[in-house]
């Protein structure tokens, strides 16, 4: 049995499989659900003027609220089995790297993620956050399909 599971979700219903799987593998209170919002604030607004910095701050606040809402909806879809789950919203340039870093920093012993199952050729061409986590993580990764 795993003691400290990090489940990465994007808040979508297809990612619910990963959340459900993580909850099955751990006792209550041992799952941290994480959503990482890709940081696009620097590219959208630039960071040179005071006005641009305010827009970046506003964008990050809005993105955090949106991420929190999507995470709450994903957890709520799990019903009563999701009580005691820890919630974590991050904004990062590289979502996959943030997942890997968080798992290592917070001593998770398993990362659970979903994949859209695009097929081998599409996955090779497009890549995915799941593939990047698999390649970078020293923590075991379980992929729900």
CATH 3.40.50.620 fits 5-144, yes or no: yes
Q: Over 70: is that where the pLDDT of 127 sits?
A: no
The number of C-alpha atoms within 13 Å of 29 and in the hemisphere containing its C-beta is: 0
Range in 8-17, 47-56, 80-89, 109-118 with the lowest mean pLDDT:
47-56
Q: What is the pLDDT of residues 62-121, one digit of tens each?
A: 999 999 999 999 999 999 878 889 999 999 999 999 999 999 999 999 999 998 755 554
Burial of 105 (0-12, 13-18, 19+ CB in 10 A): exposed
| Per-domain residue ranges of the chain | 5-144
In this prediction, residues 47-68 reach a mean pLDDT of 84
pLDDT of residue 45: 53
Q: Where are the alpha helices (DSSP H) in the chain?
A: 16-25, 41-45, 50-76, 95-105, 120-126, 129-136
Residue 122 has pLDDT above 50, yes or no: no
- pLDDT of the residue at 53: 81
**Structure pTM?**
0.86
């Amino acid at each position: 049995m795993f003691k400290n599971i990090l489940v990465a979700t994007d808040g979508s219903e297809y990612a619910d499989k990963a959340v459900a799987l993580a909850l099955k593998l751990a006792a209550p209170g041992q799952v941290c659900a994480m959503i990482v919002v890709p940081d696009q604030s620097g590219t959208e607004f630039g960071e040179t003027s005071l006005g641009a910095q305010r827009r970046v701050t506003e964008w990050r606040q809005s993105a955090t609220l949106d991420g929190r809402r999507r995470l709450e909806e994903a957890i709520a879809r799990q019903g009563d089995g999701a009580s005691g789950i820890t919630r974590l919203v991050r904004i990062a340039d590289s979502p996959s790297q943030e997942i890997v870093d968080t798992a290592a920093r917070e001593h998770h012993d398993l990362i659970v993620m979903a994949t859209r199952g695009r097929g081998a050729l599409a996955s090779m061409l497009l890549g995915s956050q799941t593939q990047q986590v698999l390649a970078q993580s020293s923590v075991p990764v379980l992929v729900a399909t």
